Amino acid sequence: MPYHKNKQQAFEAAQQGTMEAKEWYDHLVKSDADYGSQLHHLKQEVNEAFEQINNALEVASEKQRKQLEQFRNDLQAIVEEVNMYE
């Protein structure tokens, strides 16, 4: 995804990335045969979302900044949860 100078576009990319990572996490099933593959994809989604959040933080308004910090906290919770099961 190209880097956006536009605040709103950068924010929306971070929001979308976070939502996609959450969806992958919600559908992760430890007992599935392809759990390893799902986990790998989840990690990719989370890493992309963190990157999008960091990019958005560079141009964010104060209100957006608070929401972006919340997205980061949500992702961090997913990372910690997943790491507990590895």
Residue 5: pLDDT over 70:
no
What mean pLDDT value characterizes the chain?
A: 91
Residue 4: pLDDT over 70:
no
Tokens of 77: 């919770």
Give dist(CA 73, CA 40) in Å, integer.
20
The confidence score (pLDDT) of residue 30 equals: 80
Q: Residue 10's closest CA among 75, 58, 71?
A: 58
Residue 22: pLDDT over 60:
yes
Whole-structure pTM value: 0.87
